[in-house]
Amino acid sequence: MENERSAAINIGGKEYELILTTRATKAIAGRYGGLENLGEKLMKSENFEIALDEIIWLITLLANQSILIQNLRNKNSPEELLTEEDVELLTTPFDLAEYKNAITEAMFKGTKRNVESEEEIPKNVEVG
């Protein structure tokens, strides 16, 4: 099931692919102001419940991308989308910590072509 632009996770005994699609990128940008702010938001979240909510939202968003793609290709037999409640009930906080790696992998695979060129330009260089 896994391909070059996804990372696989298991939720409640079922495998899901996390895929960073353009649609998911737009949703993340709407929530965080851009992909670059996502890591900062997840790492600096002082409230544990808020951090969990963000990870659950992100897992649900990224896992649903593969279901939406599947449904687009198989309109006669659509699969149900995951809800945040499903993810909350079918996972443990330990699972969510493990999923962070898959989220990072999916984000990296989804943006790998853009990352290389950005590193060449120094930012916030002080001019004296």
In a domain, 67, yes or no: yes
CA distance 6 to 9: 10
Domain assignment present for 86: yes
Whether 115 is covered by a domain: the verdict is no
Q: For 76-122, how does the pLDDT look when each residue is reduced to its tens digit (9 = 90+)? A: 999 999 999 999 999 998 888 888 888 888 888 888 754 444 444 45
Evaluate whether residue 120 is within a structural domain: no
Structural domain count of the chain? 1
Q: What is the DSSP string of the chain?
A: ---TTEEEEEETTEEEEEE--HHHHHHHHHHHSSHHHHHHHHHH--SHHHHHHHHHHHHHHHHHHHHHHHHHH-TTSPPPPP-HHHHHHH--HHHHHHHHHHHHHHHHHHHHHHHHHHTTS--S----
Indicate whether this model's pTM tops 0.85.
Answer: no
